[in-house]
Amino acid sequence: MKASNPAAPLQEAKNNPRTLNAWAFFDWANSAYALVITVAIFPAYFLAMTGDGIKETLDYVEIAGLRMTNSSLFAYSISLAYLIIAAISPILSGIADYGGKRISFLRFFTLMGALACMSLWFFTDMGTLWIGVTGFILATIGFAGGIVFYNSFLPIIATEDRYDDVSAKGFSYGFIGSVILLVINLIVISNYKWFGFDAKGLAVPTAFVMVGLWWIGFSQIPFRRLPQDTPTKHKGNLIGKGYIELKKVWQIVRRDSNTKSFLFAFFCYNAGVQAVLFLASTFADVVLGFDATKLIYLVLILQIVAIGGAWASAKLSGIKGNKYSIMVMLFIWTVVCIAGYYVQTGLDFYLLAAAVGLVMGGIQSLSRATYAKLLPENTPDTASYFSFYDVMDKVSTVIGTFTFGFVQQITGDMRDSVRAMALFFVVSLIMMFWVKIKRMRLEPAVSVPSLD
């Protein structure tokens, strides 16, 4: 593959502790959104603002003439956000790669996501549903859009032998930071009178503002310490370059059956992982009747276990290899989804949450590190390869969350949605048998039209 932009601004020595810590702090900053908004607090708040308060019945809303459950609307909102980012991320990575604006786009998505997150303060009832849906979608796009640029720094700042540990460090920082903020949110919501609120429900939106400020504030550390942008003199259609690079990557990947097997397996299990992570709290709310406080405790258990899970997965991969570790976690995910169909009590669900936490960060961390190990040696086009990876990540998230919402829509039972997720893990577990952790080889002369 032709290198279009020599990595002049990215020539800092690899494995610099200061740079690696700064990179991990971006996870500390944006994981607050992933935890507080998409998992712990906003889902229950969204269901409360769009429901009638009767737990024994399904709550329906009507959007553009379409009638659906409010929990399905939440799932579809996630699907739409990830569909949008999947469509535009090749454009953005092309501009970043060829225009030398990697940090600039990381800043843009962070600012957009954080401001959209804070706008959820104004979502207070069905009359402001458009603010809730729009703000949530834009914040999710900001979160997901930043990840493509964040991930692409990994091969630039670390050597291959450090991928697993550095990737795990990022997830661990994210878990720790998000738990700290969630505890602060819990204190404010549980002791709402201390902070001048007349009711607990009125204190909940403060969490959305705190997440936005946390996101922007701690992102300044990686913005200042990561390799900085250097403008290039590249001429041509920068917008189309991302798609050209995506096509180049696909032409290389499609000739490598090993990498194809891994990416297909990743596509399937990521669909299940993301659906479960995004919608577990709506399941606890709708099926088990968890209130906001119970949901926060549930997520705290999940996150605390996940801190150890991310490191344990890195250590296991160091002993048994990435493939073995991923397959073990896929087996656990399958059991979790099957067991989720039969869960009846809060204690059952807490135990399942602990199991999810054990493999949640590990499988995401190892997936990123494993893909980095499959890239051609010394390739300068890491953003292009990670753009391809992230498009698969986003599209699989669309498939997973849409399937979750659609199954519940047609069956009326969210338990069926959880059981359906098990199929994704079974298929991916089978595909992983064919995967070998080795670098793909570059074949000569990949012919793709230029946009110059």
Q: What secondary structure letter does DSSP report for 339? A: H
Question: Distance between CA atoms of 119 and 131, rounded to whole angstroms?
Answer: 7
Confidence of residue 334 (pLDDT cuts 50, 70, 90): very high
pLDDT of residue 174: 86
Q: Is the pLDDT of residue 226 over 70?
A: yes
Where is average pLDDT lowest: 43-47, 120-124, 139-143, 152-156? 152-156
404: nearest Cα among 392, 424, 423, 418 = 418
pLDDT of residue 207: 92
Q: Choose the weakest-confidence range: 13-17, 64-68, 131-135.
A: 64-68
What pLDDT is stored for residue 220 in this prediction?
95
- Dihedral over Cα of 290, 296, 299, 300: its sign: negative
pLDDT at 280: 78
CA distances from 43 to 55, 127, 295, 438 (A): 15, 18, 10, 40
Render pLDDT for 143-180 as a digit per residue (tens, 0 to 9). Answer: 988 887 887 777 778 887 887 788 778 878 887 898 89
Res 1: pLDDT: 43
Q: Do the beta carbons of residue 162 and residue 140 sit within 8 Å?
A: no
- Residue 281 near residue 43, CB atoms below 8 Å: yes
Domains of the chain: 13-54+65-236+249-432 (1.20.1250.20)
For the chain, the straight-line distance linking the first and the last C-alpha, in angstroms and rounded, comes to 16
User: Would you say residue 65 has pLDDT above 80?
Assistant: no
Higher pLDDT: 381 or 10? It is 381
Share of the chain above pLDDT 70, in %: 85
Compute the mean pLDDT over every residue in the chain, rounded to the nearest whole number: 81
Question: 403: pLDDT confidence band, cut at 50, 70 and 90?
Answer: very high
